[in-house]
Structure 1
Amino acid sequence: MINVSRLMTGKAGRNDHIRYPSSRQPAPKVMVFNITRNCNLHCTHCYSGSGHSVFTNLPAVKWISALKAAADMGVEHLLISGGEPLMSRDAMDIIREASERGLKVTLSTNGTLLDAERISRLKGLVEYIGISIDGPEILHDKFRGVDGAFRRTLANARRCMAAGIRTGFRFTLTRMNSQYVDFALDLAEREHADRICFYHLGYVGRASADLDIDSGERLGAMMKIMERARESAFEILTADNSVDGILAYFLTGSQHVRSLLVRNGGNRSGERIADIDPDGNVYPDQFTRFRLGGIDDLGSIWEGPSQQVLELRDRRRIERCSRCPYFEMCNGNSRGRALASSGDLWGFDPSCYLDMVVKHFEEHMPPDAVSA
């Protein structure tokens, strides 16, 4: 993730030590557990292809064992996701075990199942709840495949905030909703959310390239987000497109921002983050279907490290990207989109909009403002 608020205002974020490490880390600090593929909704852009069928979850003991391995590896943050994680009868046990092991737990949810009892049980166990919003009510319900989803989601988000749990929104940019960026930002402000994160679409599950926006639309959306970050009291982040950070550098012209982005190192999937899917497969992140191993050998994947991890660290093999003057801030961007769109893990990420950024600033800014 890119903390846009930090880059645009200089205000420190809660997890800056992970985003801007002083040295290369041997294993991920963030782990995603997709504990179920079951879901009560059927979202157009679901990266796990969940909903409208019954999935047999892995036994809780598998996830508890993986928690121990993750903690032993030095993982600090655990993101519990799905499907809809609250559809799993083991969700609370897994969350409690993670919290007791000292992991900072984030719950990623559609929000519809966050009733008073669950909220009461979650308080004190989770550091943050991220709730998905796709736009105004009619559009959101269309995305989610269930009428009334928006109202339930928003009502439950308010309950979480009232209970004192850090709560915010997640918004995935698609061609169907990119024009509602301001709506999402206004909603976060009006509801006093702690943060909002804008996700670039990953081409996996039901989310395909034909749902994505083009470079011009992406730049327009991100310019709005960057400008709002200058003045917003809540935290604004983006995920899964390292060009966002480069855009922040262009907008600020700050060498400090540049140095932060170099320390961040761009996309570090499989290095700073890893994902376990509902079947127990270990991947670099939620959107990159390059298998690193299985849930039972989680610890050994980075202990060596494995050949797959070594491959992911060698991003200079991406020929087009390795020649880019901003490579050290980006690291080749999303390998998941490259793999999904071309079949080549080392192909070009079609969501890279750097050329559009450079063109925009060449046309609207003095030449020295766009120098590498």
Structure 2
Amino acid sequence: MKAEDMALIFSKLILNPIIRSQILDLFKKDENGKLIIENYIDAYIKGEDINSVKYKILKNILEKGLKTFAGDNYESAFKEYLKDSYFKKGLISVVRGLGYFGVRKPFVSGSPFLVVWDVTYRCNLRCKHCYANAGKPLEDELNTEEAKKVVDILGNAGVVALAFSGGEPLMRKDLFELIDRVKDYDMQVSIATNGTLLTKENVRKLKEHNVDFIQISLDGLKETHERFRGIKGIYEKVVEGIRNVVEENICCAIATTATKLNYKDVPKVMDFAEKLGVNYFMLYNYIPVGAGDYDIDLSPEEREELLNMLWEKLNNETGKKCKTAFLSTAPYYSRTALEHNKHYLATHFANVDLDGNEHLKSLANFIGGCGCGRFYLSLRANGDIQPCVFFPLKLGNMREFKDENDFLNFWRENKVLNDLRDRDKIEICGKCQYKYVCGGCRARAYSYYKDYLREDPGCILTKKLSS
């Protein structure tokens, strides 16, 4: 049976209202305050049988889902993966998403996999393209107790990963206290920083507090980077900070935001990232928002040139894989990769070699493209909720929520989020053959048109599809 046919059967199974109701019952708590689904997954890993309709439904979902999207002979490896707490949390969110939304293209998780939180807008730099227009803190930024409550709500809601950004997150005095609170919920925690404060002492402290991932901004080599960041003499500090993170063996990424001013230099930064030994190079999709001007945004042709350069670096002529993984937040990168190699899927979080695996190919339409409103949400320093850090549309505020149930209801019912989840609603992009693996950047549409369902003006296919 073809993978697409199996996916259809799997979808019909989940569409059954009785099954959906039983799935949501898995998220009730037992007498010890633990989710029923957690107990059942533990039993599944051990190969135990439980005389329960809900357990049998969960086991059936796991087995059918695994066969649909991975193929046969993967169960033992899958059970090993489930011993990893982050993978387990991710699976729980997927199952909750099936209960809430069914099998959607693209898929919607039961709570955000990732929340990016601008934890303060205090910053020691003056970056020309800063989406947050950071510098001074807001007057109404969340205090320590309010911030801890936010962590509690997100942790109890099943969020898998929390990224502290800003501003400069290391300038928030209670940051390490908040990091510890995040780890209490076994969430993955990361820091997005300008790198100037990554001294040996601070990096060692970040490691002691079990930070999983550190992303450092580097928009070019010395002259370019310092022109972008507004202060001379910082380049050496940033590079030293990167080296300190690599030496402590913390998973590390260099993040470059590409504009007209630096996109030709991106290959040099990629080479430098590999030389420094970082785990990832992340090419950020520049959106003219905050301090960023429209006149430095790439044209569709320039963006296409850049994404092709990224692909060539990833998959060079000799076929050798680079030590550093090269990723991009630009949703069109998924399309670029598939145009070069129909067996290759590039996402925000990983590059997946489909290698002719028909089952994995069927997964592409479910996980590809922009994660905004599906896997991802952003918070401002005052608790305001936005679809994305580059998408300044207030949807609510974390102060409004009493507990995780209020937050989950918001995630499930918010009109804007539900609009973003429906690719057929998007003008022009909704007609594209790549709508599920890409869908365009909703933040760019909002920036240019103040309408998040308009076409993405940054994509080279937009003109072709609108003519």
Q: What is the SS of the residue equivalent to 1:198?
A: strand
- Give the direction of change, closer, same or farther, for the CA distance of 1:31–1:324 in structure 2 (3 Å limit): same
1:291 pairs with 2:398: no
Partner of 1:9: none
Partner of 2:175: 91
Distance 1:44 1:245 in 2: 28
1:277 pairs with 2:385: no
Distance 1:326 1:338 in 2: 17
Q: What is the SS of the residue equivalent to 1:171?
A: strand
Q: What is the SS of the residue equivalent to 1:327?
A: coil
Is the 1:62–1:295 Cα contact (8 Å) retained in structure 2? Answer: no
Alignment of 1:173-192 (within 5 A): 173-192=258-277
Structure 2 letter corresponding to 1:215: P
Partner of 1:114: 198
Q: How far off its partner does 1:16 sit?
A: 9.2
1:310 pairs with 2:418: yes
Distance 1:260 1:216 in 2: 29
Structure 2 letter corresponding to 1:310: N
Alignment of 1:91-240 (within 5 A): 91-124=175-208, 125-230=210-315, 231-239=321-329
Partner of 2:120: 36
Count of matched residue pairs: 343
Using the size of structure 1 for normalisation, the TM-score is 0.86
Partner of 1:247: 336
Q: How far off its partner does 1:49 sit?
A: 0.3
Distance 2:191 2:305 in 1: 30
Is the 2:419–2:425 Cα contact (8 Å) retained in structure 1? Answer: no
Distance 1:278 1:77 in 2: 17
Q: How far off its partner does 1:205 sit?
A: 0.7
Q: Residues 120-156 of structure 1: CA distance to partner in whole angstroms, max 9, x if unpaired?
A: 2100421111000010101111110111111100011
- Give the direction of change, closer, same or farther, for the CA distance of 1:353–1:232 in structure 2 (3 Å limit): same
Q: 1:347 aligns with which of 430, 436, 454?
A: 454
Partner of 1:335: 442
Distance 1:259 1:44 in 2: 41
Q: How far off its partner does 1:95 sit?
A: 1.2
Q: What is the SS of the residue equivalent to 2:436?
A: helix
Distance 1:136 1:169 in 2: 12
- Give the direction of change, closer, same or farther, for the CA distance of 1:225–1:16 in structure 2 (3 Å limit): farther
Structure 1 letter corresponding to 2:142: L
- Give the direction of change, closer, same or farther, for the CA distance of 1:16–1:149 in structure 2 (3 Å limit): farther
Partner of 1:60: 144
- Bigger shift: 110-119 or 306-315? 306-315
Distance 1:55 1:356 in 2: 40
Partner of 1:323: 431
Is the 1:302–1:309 Cα contact (8 Å) retained in structure 2? Answer: no
Q: How far off its partner does 1:274 sit?
A: 0.4
Distance 1:356 1:238 in 2: 23
Distance 1:225 1:16 in 2: 28
Structure 2 letter corresponding to 1:46: C
Is the 1:141–1:147 Cα contact (8 Å) retained in structure 2? Answer: yes
Q: What is the SS of the residue equivalent to 2:256?
A: strand
- Give the direction of change, closer, same or farther, for the CA distance of 1:67–1:192 in structure 2 (3 Å limit): same
Gaps in structure 2 of 5+ consecutive residues: 1-83, 96-102, 316-320, 344-355
Q: What is the SS of the residue equivalent to 1:319?
A: coil
- Bigger shift: 147-156 or 204-213? 204-213
Alignment RMSD: 2.5
Q: How far off its partner does 1:297 sit?
A: 3.5
After the TM superposition, which segments of 4 or more aligned residues of structure 1 sit over 6 Å from their partners?
14-19
Q: How far off its partner does 1:93 sit?
A: 1.1
Partner of 1:365: none
Q: How far off its partner does 1:26 sit?
A: 2.1
Is the 2:138–2:381 Cα contact (8 Å) retained in structure 1? Answer: no
Percent identity for Structure 1 against Structure 2: 27
Is the 1:135–1:180 Cα contact (8 Å) retained in structure 2? Answer: yes
Distance 1:47 1:64 in 2: 25
Distance 2:460 2:190 in 1: 30
Is the 2:300–2:458 Cα contact (8 Å) retained in structure 1? Answer: yes
